[in-house]
Every structure is written in structure tokens, then in C-alpha cells.
Amino acid sequence: MYKRFLWISHSAINAFDRCPQSYYYQYQYKNPETGNRIQIANPYFSLGLSVHQTIEALSKVSVKERVEISLEDRFNEIWNEFSGKRGGFISETQENRFKKRGEKMIEKVEKSDFLQKPSVDMKEEIPNIDLIPEEDIKLVGSLDWIQILPSGGLHIIDFKTGKNKEKNNSLQLPIYKILADDKLDDKVEKFSYWYLESGNKPTPKEFDSIDHSLKKIKEKALEIKSHVESSRYPCHYNGRCFACGDFKRIFDGKADFLGTDSSGKDLYFIYKPEDIIKKVIDEKILDIREEKVFEMRMEGMKLDKIEKELKIPKKKLKKITDSIKKKLIEALSTKELKILIDEKLKK
């Protein structure tokens, strides 16, 4: 008989802490039509994944070979898989902005001596252990890079592509230590985050005793399991939640289905009014005056107030708004226009 385990990871714990309902959509819900879990195309996720994939596969290559490999070429090839809506990008301008961030991160790695240092190839692609065997709970995690120190000990390095620093009470590195101690023969002597956007080298990180962290991980795992068993996933913000709200846009018809992603999840591109507004601005769809009127309308300002604020005669303002409508109809999709009207102009 097939036994169903509850898989606990750092990202699953984070998702649950942000919003249990968001955790449900990411880790428990399956599309009834396909049987697949769902994934929202997201620029930040695409940036992180493309950078990670560019670097991490080199751990399987000898130092002599890897220093001959062009990271820039690897990054560009991988980036093609995340181009357009599949990467969560609503416009070329937005995509180019994120791609340049990734290129700078890759350049930092290539210019450092990082790849010249020996590393361990984690044979098990996604290592896992029995966290609480009697509860059928497993702990899982993916170690980005394991460097071999001059002492022979190991240095676990986690790549960070976001702008925010990991919190001091984060369970990520303790989880990696638990997995590494179980799966690797040599002792882990050092842990670091490499904030690739702001740092030129990894930043060492200390954390509390592993026993204390393990206790917290098990407590959180049991809390999550109780919610799964009772099918209870409350939203912390009463429906005004960024985390689970994005998933609800899929069910409200405000998303495009893009097929399956590389992990076999159903991939969706969601439309949000703030992203569409950003597209209009980024792509220079309107002239300067039209853009100002458009922004004021998107902020909920009525036409008579705009007329007074900008000191524009009524007939002139009518001409401007007609021009805005015409340009938006030409530049935006039907779905994008409907979302702007429903969520901005009908309020």
C-alpha cells in the first residue's frame, strides 16, 4: 500500500507562516483536471532559479573543467526557458530589468575565485531524512553548494538572489546541517549565505544549537500536519492577502494557463492591475500628459477632480482620455483591459 508522507522543507515552513491558505495552494492543492500541483510564474522566482541553475550544475564538474565554462553563455541559455510570461514577465522592459540583475550576479561569481575551489557533488539531488518517522513526516532540502575547506571539512553555501537578508531565526541553514550530517561523510564546519546582488563573497552565518533548531522544526512540522489532517487552512488577512490572493486570481479567471513547467506543475501567469499599470508606464504607451491622467485615474481620481488638479479644460481632457482609451486598446490584451476596468475604474 502506498504511504503518503508529509514533506517538510524551509520553503514549506515559510509559506505556512506567511499564510496557511497559501501553503495549501502551493503544497497540498492539485488541479482536479490534471492532478498536478500549481505554480505561479513569478519574476523573482525565475531570476533565482535561472541563477541557481547556472551555478549549481558546475558542482558536478571538475575544477579544471568548470573554470573553462562561460557562465554568461550558460545563463543566457537557461534564461530562454523563463522568457516572457513563463517567467512571469508582463513586458519586455520588466524582463530585461530582471535579466540584467541576473547577469550582474553571474559576473560576480565568474570574477571571484569561488569556482576554483574544490566542492562536493551531492549525489542525492534532493536529500531527505525521516524527521518524525512515527508521524510519516520527512525533512527535505536542496543544498546549493558544498565547498571543501583546506582542513578537509565542508562549507555549505546558500545562494541568495533577493534583496532581503535572511532572518536571524531562519531555519534554513539548520535544516541543511541536519541533512548534511546524515548524508555526508565529512564534518560541516562552516555555513554561509551569498547575497549575490550586494555581496562579492559568501557571508558566514552562525546559528543556535542544532538541538534547539531541530525542536522548532519538529514543532512546526506537527503544526502543519494538524492543519493538513483537519483540512484547515485559514488566511491570516481575511481575504486581503498577497500570498494566497495571487492563487485566487487563477480561480477567478484572471490568469493564463501556460502548460506544465520543468517540475511537472501546472504553470499560470496571473494578471494584477499594478503590473498592468507598470507595463503601460514602462513601455511608454502614452505621452507624458496622457500618462499623468492615466496614473491619476488608476489612483481612483474622478475626471472632474483631474480637470481641476491639472487645470485642463473639459473638452481637452475628453480628447486626452479618448486618446488614452485608443492606445490602451491597441497595446493591451482584452483580459488586461478588463482587469483595469473591473479593479480600478469600477471602484
pLDDT tens digit string along 317-326? 999 999 999 9
User: Has residue 45 been placed in a domain?
Assistant: no
Distance CA 45, CA 59 (A): 22
Domain membership of residue 261 as a residue range: 1-40+117-270
Q: Residues of the chain with pLDDT > 90: what percent?
A: 80
Q: In residues, how long is the chain?
A: 347
Distance CA 345, CA 298 (A): 7
Q: Same domain for 264 and 282? A: no
What residues contact residue 143 under an 8 Å CB cut-off, 6+ apart? 122, 127, 156, 158, 176, 179, 180
pLDDT tens column, 27-53: 999 999 999 999 999 999 999 999 999
Other Cβ atoms closer than 10 A to 261:
18
Q: Is the pTM of this model over 0.95?
A: no
Distances (CA, A) of 129 to 133, 183, 249: 9, 9, 35
Q: Cell numbers 547556472 correspond to what residue?
A: 54
Q: Same domain for 251 and 164? A: yes
Distances (CA, A) of 98 to 40, 51, 87: 17, 11, 10
User: Has residue 123 been placed in a domain?
Assistant: yes
**Residue 201: burial class (beta carbons within 10 Å; 0-12, 13-18, 19+):** middle
Number of folded domains that form the chain: 2
Q: Same domain for 186 and 304? A: no
Q: Same domain for 128 and 215? A: yes
pLDDT tens column, 178-236: 999 888 888 899 999 999 999 999 999 887 678 889 999 999 999 999 999 999 999 98
Q: Cell numbers 553555501 correspond to what residue?
A: 157
How many Cα atoms are found within 13 Å in the side-chain-facing hemisphere of 44?
Answer: 6
Q: Same domain for 178 and 245? A: yes
Q: Which domain-ending residue is among 243, 270, 297?
A: 270
DSSP-derived 3-state class of residue 145: strand
